[in-house]
Amino acid sequence: MLATVGVFLMAGSGAETARAGWRPIAMGLVSATFFAFAAIGFRGAVTRMETPSIAMAATTVLVVGLAVQTAVLLVWLALFDRAGLKAILALWRASIVAGLMGALASQLWFVALALTDAARVRTLALVEVLFAQAASLKLFRERPSAREWLGMALIVAAAATLIGG
């Protein structure tokens, strides 16, 4: 709950929410809920694989998951956005490094999910917010507001609670 409140505080001011309405918030919560179900499902799949190592189980589940996602996306694009699909295929070389880095990051996520429960992995991952804020300050000279500082403090407290518990 601490981390969730922290994320809400960092998401924007009340004035921004009033302008955008509640629909983006509702969509974000629904997306987060499905992401949580996916993380729990992936963890369950990894921990139930009968392989010689955690890394092999994580890799196998990741490959299957990525194959399903790729197939679904290809079908969707073929049916509803052929121009977008052609543009993506035309630029495949430019996306190789980003794709490999994304695959490596996913591999590490899946190994982490194999080692501990999904809630700990996802909450600890929220410390990336601190790195994003540091980059924002360094690159764009954007200083966090008091509300954002409070949100970051709650996220760090949540991560510390999970690490300590």
Domain hosting residue 31, numbered range: 2-164
Whether the CA torsion 91, 95, 99, 102 is positive or negative: it is negative
What is the pLDDT averaged over residues 138-147? 86
The mean pLDDT of the chain is 87
**Residue 110, pLDDT score:** 92
- Taking only the tens place, the pLDDT of each residue in 109-131 is 899 988 988 888 877 777 788 88
Residue burial 107-135, b: 16+ Cβ < 10 Å; e: rest:
eebbbbbbeeebebbbbbebeebeeebee
CB atoms within 10 A of CB 53: 11
Residue 150 has pLDDT above 70, yes or no: yes
- Taking only the tens place, the pLDDT of each residue in 44-69 is 999 999 999 999 999 999 999 999 99
- The number of distinct structural domains making up the chain is 1
Residue 147 has pLDDT above 70, yes or no: yes
What is the pLDDT averaged over residues 105-109? 90
Q: Which percentage of the chain shows pLDDT scores above 90?
A: 41
